[in-house]
Structure 1
Amino acid sequence: MRVRLPSIAIAASLLLYWTAAGCNYGDSTVHLTGHVTYDGKPVPRGTITFSPDTKQGNAGHGSKAIIQDGTYTTRESFGLVGGPHVVRIEGFNGIAHGDNLDGQILFKPHEESYDLPMESGEYDFEVPKTTKRSR
């Protein structure tokens, strides 16, 4: 059986296009920036992780951002999809001690469900005081 070269070229081009389109998050990607506070004060250092809540039908990629001086941005990462998410926040006092550059834990990791916006913008998080770390 003889296959014509143009047919292979067209098929390869379509495959490349579909693959590239599947890897592109397009307009559904949301970038958030905002503040993270605990006990009314900015969280000095930490991380914030955004995981789409599959139990509520949200799918897509998650994201993680660094908290520095009470602010975060997902612009340095992939961004995220909007809608229901489980958000995990870890906070530290920011005072380096030995190998631990983030410092002492301020509170146990806090997880909560949020319905995040479908458009890029600001979104602030307040970690409740009841999330205090155990002694």
Structure 2
Amino acid sequence: MLPALVCCLLLGCTSDPKVYRVSGKITFAGQPVPAGTIYFTPDNSKNNSGPAGYAQIKNGQYDTSAQGGQGAKAGPLIVKIEGSDGANQLFRTQEVPFELPQKDTSKDFEVPASEGLKLPKNAGPPP
């Protein structure tokens, strides 16, 4: 028991991975994305694992340290971006690779207009 305690004190008892703050802007066709979510998932294909980080997108801004967010693990990640106008999805879910350094980071993302979803003019909420 004592060796385990000494080891724990020397190496640290936590098994939680270190996470970092990621913040920035997200635009779609050059305009701020009104609402949505951004996820930072460790890329298992590049030997990175652990919990995903995430943040809410509000008026084109996101911050994993804001309320409702969670910091991201450093290393190779897959970033998934979901955006809406508050009611309708604006574009196909985007997945892009990103290498997060071992420090708090600012990163902007641009979703090209070609990824937009074309909704019928009379589209409304389902009955």
TM-score, structure 1 as length reference: 0.73
Q: Does 1:78 align with 2:62?
A: no
Instruction: Find the aligned partners of 1:118 and 1:128 in 2 and give their Cα distance.
Output: 28
Preserved CA contact (<8 Å) 2:78 2:96: yes
The equivalent of 2:32 in structure 1 is 42
Q: Which is richer in helix?
A: 1
Identity of aligned residues (%): 33
The equivalent of 2:122 in structure 1 is none
- Aligned residue-pair number: 116
Instruction: Find the aligned partners of 1:55 and 1:91 in 2 and give their Cα distance.
Output: 26
Pairwise CA distance, 1:83: 1.9
- Aligned Cα root-mean-square deviation (Å): 2.3
Flag as ranges the 4+ runs of structure 1 deviating above 4 A.
Answer: 11-19
Q: Select the residue among 89, 93, 110 that pairs with 2:81.
A: 89
TM-score, structure 2 as length reference: 0.77
Alignment gaps of 5+ in structure 1: 1-7, 95-102
Alignment gaps of 5+ in structure 2: 120-127
Preserved CA contact (<8 Å) 2:35 2:58: yes
Please, which moves more after superposition, 125-134 or 84-93?
125-134
